[in-house]
Structure 1
Amino acid sequence: MDRDLLERLYHRAVDAAQPQHAIATNLPDPPRGRTVVIGAGKASAQMARAFELAWPGPIHSGLVVTRYGYGTPCERIEIVEAAHPVPDMSGYLAARRLMEKVSGLGHDDLVVALISGGGSALLPQPAAGLSFEDEQAVNEILLASGAPISVMNVIRNELSAIKGGRLAALASPARVATLIVSDIPGDDPSLVASGPTVPLSSGRAEARHLASLYRLKLPAAAEELLASDLNAAPRAGDPRFQHNTVRIIASAALSLEAAAAEARSAGLEAHILSDAIEGEARDVASVHAALAREIRTRNRPFAKPTLLLSGGETTVTIRGDGRGGRNAEFLLAFALAIDGIEGITALAADTDGIDGAGDNAGALCDGHTAARMRAAGIDPRRALANNDAYNAFRAVGGLLLTGPTGTNVNDFRAIIVR
């Protein structure tokens, strides 16, 4: 059954991004001095546990911050849980503690930074002149804007006291080794979790341009800071970073390749469209559906049966007051675009196991899903207009429920066409 195969492919993609498979082969050289472990993100607790098991020497101090419900027991590294996607005081206090932990280190010391997607919200630390409430408001505005994650993180970087390489600058002269589970399309390490230990590849001028382009109405203090040259982030050539290392140990590309290999072992040819797709979820769905229909009806550009895979991170511009993350919204738009067409089955889900603020990873659909919704009393077009994909799929048993997976390499989309 194609739904069973799609779920198997999703779990294979998630398994390929699990930290325990990658940490042990990417350990930094041990220091002569102390080892301090820090981290933030939805996968940071699992990364911390994997690091504990693999690290051959002592760990003198350790603290990582993850989302509520994403923690895992560690013996030598403290795990703190905080709110995501809108920051809370737990994240604020943890960020202060991380800054204190890396301060006052020496040349012989090592800071290991375990960074994964979600860290932007989990490490709130407003720049001078901004309040914690300002940072919360900025996050809410960005989340509702429809801006891609890369745009959001460029702006967050400029308004933070910890992001944009500032945490690594605090650790100098200690060496900083950053291990990253990437959720950013294109895998720019300075944008994963807004790059607390990786210097910016962008600048203040770009942040101003993007805020204007997306017509963001930021808090007055944030607008004033963006208009100034205060709180400048360190740059890649800064001598404080000359001995630091950065490694991406898991990404969407690796997960999609693992899913493709699994499909081929099951006798189904697979094609990876891209691991870096961005854009409005319903628009991306329209393009994917058009390609699936072309294969189904004209056997081009790929011969059926076949599997289409893609990753990246879509966005949702909030227009209604319904419930549903970007993957459920993608799939509801996709279901409408293949309404009544046989031979197409699809899954869209977040690899961290939580799609937006719901309890589902994503959803599954086929050419009869929209009809089943109508039979259940749900108008799928009205649900899409109201951003209410979660309840539409719940009404027909189409939600994918996995719970937190322990990793995060963003969206996973798989479409079988027969």
Structure 2
Amino acid sequence: MSTHPIHLLPPGATLGVLGGGQLGRMFAHAAQAMGYFTAVLDADADSPAGRISHHHIRTAYDDPDGLAQLASLCDAVTTEFENVPAVALAALAGQCPVAPAARAVAVAQDRAQEKAHFVACGVPCAPHAVIETAEQLAAVPTSLLPGILKTARLGYDGKGQVRVQTAAELAAAWVQLGRVPCVLEQMLPLAFECSVIVARGHDGATVHLPVQRNLHRDGILAVTEVHEGNVPPALASQAVEAAISIANGLLYVGVLCVEFFVLQDGRLVVNEIAPRPHNSGHYSQNACDVSQFELQVRTMAGLPLVQPRLHSAAVMLNLLGDLWFTQGDTAQTPPWEAVLQLPGAHLHLYGKSAAKHGRKMGHLNITAATPEAARATALQAAALLGIAPF
């Protein structure tokens, strides 16, 4: 099936997105601010992106009629959710330009393929073994234990993962996960986690956001801190170089997040990629002169990519639905007025109809002239909201 190359799409064109979540919503806001029309394909009539877009096609991601309608409306299409079927992207690519390409998304959807790609790019990753059969399970070397068993597909935000100490626990965990294809990763002594967001154009040009230092809680990103020196400079350069190598190896077009572990001995290993804007890049809306969502628009529309500049130190706090339930079982609005009295506080809520435990409801960006000021204010905001200190 032929694919359509990306050409320059000036403002006034229509940009489409598969997926109606908060990433689609923020992409649509950025596109609309630059003068583009937007279309969203998502089955949920109440989806955050669908509610604010010019067009909302309410079908499943793999519905042929819905995809045909999206292609007829749009001059280019992207995705905001890595579990959109790669076959849907491939089908769309026969009808209009699609970025990122189905092949790149397919690699990100499968941990075994993803690990193989890292190895091919010469980027270090955790020692691991692919487990698809009982024979492969029996052959796992003991050196990989203790480890984390992860489903090869459809795992995100800590889901589809089991920590295992022994061969017996590993065997039980594989059964627990339904004997689906899995990857066992050796547990590594972590110092901290970081990520890099790269934007790559159809011409191969790349730009990147500064390296983000991340704190996860229960497998979900809780805090991102970005400022000069948040990661040792040599390590930051290595992470950026690795992220660009991974993007180039995929012939990627669009915004790609590459997540890394920094080990206690100072080594950097890649964890996983997300073929879309990422939670850890949300600070860029207020702390950079070009946000990750504007970069997504530029890659889709064939516009020039300019290197983003960090103009403020920043801390991003993830706002989960739990914050609505700090007083009991009845949802109560968090104290936004008190939070917004803090200097440099920027509130982003995603327009979701109901708060639920663990659901991403929004984020709070704190910007300041110095890292110390940003952190101090972010800790004040966390205390007001009932977020544990960091």
Q: Give the TM-score normalised by the residue count of structure 2.
A: 0.29
Greater length-normalized contact order (CA 8 Å, ≥ 6 residues apart): 1
Q: Give the TM-score normalised by the residue count of structure 1.
A: 0.28
Instruction: Say which structure is richer in strand.
Output: 2
Instruction: Say which structure is richer in helix.
Output: 1
